[in-house]
Amino acid sequence: MKRKILITGGSGFIGTNLVQYFLDKEFEVLNIDVKEPKKTEHFKHWVNIDITNFELLQKEIISFDPKYFVHLAARTDLDGTTLDDYSANNIGVENIMKIVKQLDKLEKIIITSSMLVCKANYHPKDQHDFAPTTVYGESKVQTEKIVWSNTPVCDWAIIRPTSIWGPWFDVPYKNFFDMVIAKKYFHIGNKSCTKTYGYVENAVYQIEQMLFSETNSDLNKVFYIGDYDPTNIEVWANEISSELGFSVKKIPFSLIKGVAFFGDFLKAFKVNFPMTSFRLKNMTTNNIVDLSNTQVIAPKLPITRQVGIVKTLKWINNNK
């Protein structure tokens, strides 16, 4: 019999890659998501259920009776103004933690949080130390607290994806690639930053290794997901443009700051613009996270950044 894996949020960016990976490994995969899959061939593995609907969710999960469970489903944008706007991240998680206690065959569940439970360049003293600066980040703090208050009987872990990019991605890093490709991206004076980014196939590898490794210690339950070598955004942009046969130009920081203020003005009228003050701050603030405990479980990432760039450019070209 095929091993069963349940993935909530399998229609999203990381989820699409994860669903495909386990289908290729000949697992029996069920994707629970309110959104349609991005890939046509994934439709037969998908059910449309809102994770805040306890009765429907319970019925589907118990009927499927998975051996492994990766919970990715969440509201992930930064547009919400109250925690009630992020009900999937609190009510949905509460529902899942109740239901998994009824699954006798479940061996491991991974629950997805976010690196935004802490502000950029903040180094938490332990896995219960939080410093969010957005309502979304606060909602993911709730996610983690709910898990700790309702720990499953089986083995479990919490993952905090960093800045993940690659095929099937969307904002903000799809915008970053699109701007470089269109020669609309410029280096921001001398303000380039270094961050922990992660190519999506490496993230999938880390999730898989964590899923099939024991994480029984309560002192080591939270793992960041990302590439082990931090990336300077100027270097990254140069690598993308070099692959496309041109060089990225540099413009003064003061000019970009003015453009960001203009983006803030447009945002007030609900007009999307690729640059805002929030985005500019994000692009010029270092954020390197500690992946050492993840590296113990998943020591050898399968894809280099350069190979990831080539694969991503090919995907973009094929999905215009």
Instruction: Tell me what the mean pLDDT of segment 24-43 comes to.
Output: 98
pLDDT reading at 261 higher than 80: yes
Instruction: Tell me what the mean pLDDT of segment 279-290 comes to.
Output: 87
33: buried, middle or exposed (CB in 10 Å: 19+, 13-18, 0-12)?
buried
State residue 22's pLDDT score. Answer: 98
For residue 6, which of 68, 54, 88 has the smallest C-alpha distance? 68
State residue 67's pLDDT score. Answer: 98
Question: How many other C-beta atoms lie within 10 A of the C-beta of residue 245?
Answer: 6
Sequence-separated (6 or more) residues with CB below 8 Å from residue 234: 187, 192, 248
CB 3 within 8 A of CB 26: no
pLDDT reading at 172 higher than 90: no
State residue 304's pLDDT score. Answer: 98
Q: Which residue has the tokens 């802490």?
A: 118
CA distance 142 to 136: 10
Instruction: Tell me what the mean pLDDT of segment 26-30 comes to.
Output: 98
- Please write the tens of the pLDDT for every residue from 188-199: 888 889 999 999
Indicate the domain borders of the chain.
4-161, 163-197+227-289+303-320
Q: Quickly list DSSP for 141-207.
A: HHHHHHHHHT--SSEEEEEEE-EEESTT--TTHHHHHHHHHTT---EETT---EE-EEEHHHHHHHH
Asked if residue 37 has a cis previous peptide bond (ω within 30° of 0), the answer is no
CA distance 72 to 32: 10
pLDDT reading at 271 higher than 90: no
State residue 118's pLDDT score. Answer: 97
pLDDT reading at 273 higher than 90: no
pLDDT reading at 1 higher than 90: no
> Which CATH architecture group holds 4-161?
3-Layer(aba) Sandwich (3.40)
pLDDT reading at 61 higher than 80: yes
pLDDT reading at 302 higher than 90: yes
- Please write the tens of the pLDDT for every residue from 210-220: 999 999 999 99
pLDDT reading at 69 higher than 90: yes
Instruction: Tell me what the mean pLDDT of segment 244-259 comes to.
Output: 92
Phi-psi region of 288 (alpha: psi -120 to 50; beta: other; left: phi over 0): beta
The average confidence (pLDDT) of the chain is: 96
pLDDT reading at 274 higher than 80: no
pLDDT reading at 270 higher than 90: no
